[in-house]
Amino acid sequence: DASVCTPLPVLGRDVLVPLVTGGEVTYAALDYAASAPALQRVWDDVAAYAPYYGSVHRGAGYLSQLSTDLFENSRATVAEFLGCREGDQVVFTRSTTDSLNLLAAAVPAGCQVFVFETEHHASLLPWRDAEVTYLNAPRTPQQAIETLERALADRDPYGPALVCVTGASNVTGELWPVKELAAAAHAHGARIVLDAAQLAPHHPVDIAESDVDWVAFSGHKLYAPFGSGVLAGRSDWLTEAEPYLAGGGASRKVARRTDGGVDVEWHTTAARHEAGSPNVIGVYAIASACKALTEAGFDSLVEREQSLVTKVREGLAEVDEVKVLSLFGDDAPRVGVISFVVEGWNSSHFAAALSAEYGIGVRDGLFCAHPLVRTLLGSDPQDPGECGAPEAEPGERSLNAIRVSFGAGTPDEHVERFVRAVK
Ligand code: PMP
């Protein structure tokens, strides 16, 4: 409800930060890694367009033409935002999960897939029909490169292969050596897809510069609303694959055959995988967020975010009972995503207390990256365990963690309150 929202300055515009209804306390949304608040700019753009939306690619009328233009212009905006190469496609999906499942459905037959066990489940799990090699958790970025090189050296060099890697961890916030991993993949004839769900909101992503083959991200983590995502990159596998969804919009020509069947000629553009009436509002919102971030400039966004990261790190370091989770070491560069456990506390109770007593919204759990969090907590990464809030008695080792995450529009007061509350 916009009436219970108070605007805070961001990017020279405002971001909507919801107030605790009826309360005195401004709610501190420190769960950007799950979903970031929409930028006021995105809200405004969508509101200005909303009364006029119509069907995309399906109508002769003015509203339909306007919507088609906005939809296709949004595609161009996203391509520019990602630094796409000539010939790259931008396919609109529902989310990062949807994008990676689309790619998984499009990989050529016999494709070998290489994925670190530390990935978010959206990157770890979609490759069900491929031959998957799960790589052990590296403890340094260099080890990640070496682990991948070793695995690729053993592969069938003539078959298709794909590496899937995340740019910034949704658990530790740590940055992965994407460019080096891309070079290793290509040196062994493999392709690489970058899960940029956590990277894109915090860092510039440049497909051409990092030389990855595909990038996937979600609108709702990039300061736009839910329901839209992107898969961008090389067109060949996408164009050769069967459509992800079959239906109108993906098909160019459909005709009955004399034997009673149906012949279909599918589009060879991004439309091939976008069957059905598309989410034009969601797509327009993503494009609006891309523009807002570009106009604000990542240099200043990164600088501001890093000052908050330092504040949180230094604050947590003053509390003996707090252990920050990290794969690559405490000083490793990271975006505004920090997970930790507090000795003597059940993480779920701790997160609930932050919410109830301080109006701070964080997340507790295993963050859809169960093997990674178990590795970081020193429990068995192979333990099928429980998701959610496993009980740990005071004094026992935590079975889950607490995550604080922030980004554009996070006021200093929110992270200061968070550090005070933890203390
Ligand atoms: N990858 C990473 C690194 C993520 O953090 C997330 C969301 N937590 C996803 C993929 C999946 O994103 P979505 O839920 O929007 O599909």
Q: How many domains does the chain have?
A: 2
CA 340 to each of CA 322, 331, 391: distance values in angstroms, whole numbers, following the listed order: 7, 15, 16
Listed residue (408, 337, 409, 416) closest to 373, CA to CA? 337
Statement to judge: residues 344 and 270 lie in one domain: no
**Residue 338 three-state SS:** strand
CA 283 to each of CA 183, 290, 314: distance values in angstroms, whole numbers, following the listed order: 31, 11, 39
Per-residue tokens: 276: 């059905």
Per-residue tokens: 201: 């909101």
Q: Measured from the CA of 97, which atom of ligand 1 is nearest?
A: 16
Listed residue (380, 343, 358, 405) closest to 137, CA to CA? 380
Instruction: Using the mean position of ligand 1's atoms as its centre, give its distance from the Cα of residue 202 in Å.
Output: 14
Tell me the best of 96, 223, 366 to mutate to test the pocket of ligand 1, counting ligand atoms within 8 Å of each CB and taking the most: 96
Instruction: Using the mean position of ligand 1's atoms as its centre, give its distance from the Cα of residue 323 in Å.
Output: 24
Statement to judge: residues 115 and 223 lie in one domain: yes
Last residue of a domain, one of 237, 269, 295: 295
**pTM for the structure as a whole:** 0.92
Statement to judge: residues 131 and 242 lie in one domain: yes
Statement to judge: residues 347 and 221 lie in one domain: no
* Beta strands across the sheet bearing 112-116: 89-93, 229-233, 214-218, 191-195, 161-166, 112-116, 131-135
Asked, for residue 42, whether it belongs to a domain, the answer is: no
Q: Which CATH number characterizes residue 312's domain?
A: 3.90.1150.10
Instruction: Using the mean position of ligand 1's atoms as its centre, give its distance from the Cα of residue 66 in Å.
Output: 31
- Whose structure tokens read 């998701």? 387
Pocket of ligand 1 (CB under 6 A): 95-97, 120, 122-123, 166, 170, 195, 197-198, 218, 220, 368
Last residue of a domain, one of 264, 279, 295: 295
Statement to judge: residues 184 and 256 lie in one domain: yes
Per-residue tokens: 26: 């401004």
Quick one: pLDDT at residue 76?
98
Amino acid (1-letter code) at residue 28: A
Statement to judge: residues 288 and 302 lie in one domain: no
Q: Which residues constitute the domain of residue 144?
A: 47-295
Q: Which CATH number characterizes residue 52's domain?
A: 3.40.640.10
Q: Could you tell me if 417 and 366 are in contact, meaning their C-beta atoms sit under 8 angstroms apart? A: no
Tell me the best of 123, 178, 367, 368 to mutate to test the pocket of ligand 1, counting ligand atoms within 8 Å of each CB and taking the most: 368
Instruction: Using the mean position of ligand 1's atoms as its centre, give its distance from the Cα of residue 356 in Å.
Output: 26
**Average pLDDT along the chain, 423 residues, taken 10 residues at a time:** 46 44 66 92 91 88 93 98 98 98 97 96 93 96 98 91 98 98 97 98 97 98 94 98 95 94 96 96 96 93 96 97 94 95 92 90 93 84 51 60 94 94 96
Statement to judge: residues 206 and 309 lie in one domain: no
Quick one: pLDDT at residue 17?
47
Tell me the best of 31, 94, 97, 193 to mutate to test the pocket of ligand 1, counting ligand atoms within 8 Å of each CB and taking the most: 97
Q: Could you tell me if 223 and 293 are in contact, meaning their C-beta atoms sit under 8 angstroms apart? A: yes
Catalytic option among 84, 164, 368, 387: 368
Statement to judge: residues 378 and 268 lie in one domain: no
Statement to judge: residues 115 and 224 lie in one domain: yes
DSSP 176: P
- Whose structure tokens read 């589009």? 267
Instruction: Using the mean position of ligand 1's atoms as its centre, give its distance from the Cα of residue 176 in Å.
Output: 16
Asked, for residue 397, whether it belongs to a domain, the answer is: yes
Statement to judge: residues 224 and 144 lie in one domain: yes
Q: Measured from the CA of 169, which atom of ligand 1 is nearest?
A: 3
- Whose structure tokens read 């509101």? 47
Tell me the best of 100, 165, 198 to mutate to test the pocket of ligand 1, counting ligand atoms within 8 Å of each CB and taking the most: 198
Nearest CA to ligand 1 atom 4: 197
Quick one: pLDDT at residue 23?
47
Instruction: Using the mean position of ligand 1's atoms as its centre, give its distance from the Cα of residue 227 in Å.
Output: 13
Nearest CA to ligand 1 atom 6: 197
Statement to judge: residues 290 and 303 lie in one domain: no
β-strand partners of 15? 8, 39
Listed residue (344, 348, 351, 352) closest to 322, CA to CA? 344
Amino acid (1-letter code) at residue 208: A
Quick one: pLDDT at residue 383?
56
- Spatial neighbors of 41 by CB under 8 A, at least 6 apart, are 11, 13, 288, 289, 291, 292
Statement to judge: residues 285 and 313 lie in one domain: no
Q: Measured from the CA of 119, which atom of ligand 1 is nearest?
A: 3
ipTM greater than cut 0.95:
yes
Instruction: Using the mean position of ligand 1's atoms as its centre, give its distance from the Cα of residue 36 in Å.
Output: 12
Asked, for residue 67, whether it belongs to a domain, the answer is: yes
CA 96 to each of CA 91, 222, 371: distance values in angstroms, whole numbers, following the listed order: 11, 11, 20
Last residue of a domain, one of 295, 313, 343: 295
Q: Does 368 qualify as catalytic in the annotation?
A: yes
Angstrom distance (rounded) from CA 387 to CA 417: 29
Q: Measured from the CA of 99, which atom of ligand 1 is nearest?
A: 16
Give phi and psi for 205, each to the nearest 5. -115, 125
CA 387 and chain centroid, separation: 20
- DSSP-H helix ranges across 107-162: 121-124, 141-153
Quick one: pLDDT at residue 106?
97
Q: Could you tell me if 215 and 194 are in contact, meaning their C-beta atoms sit under 8 angstroms apart? A: yes
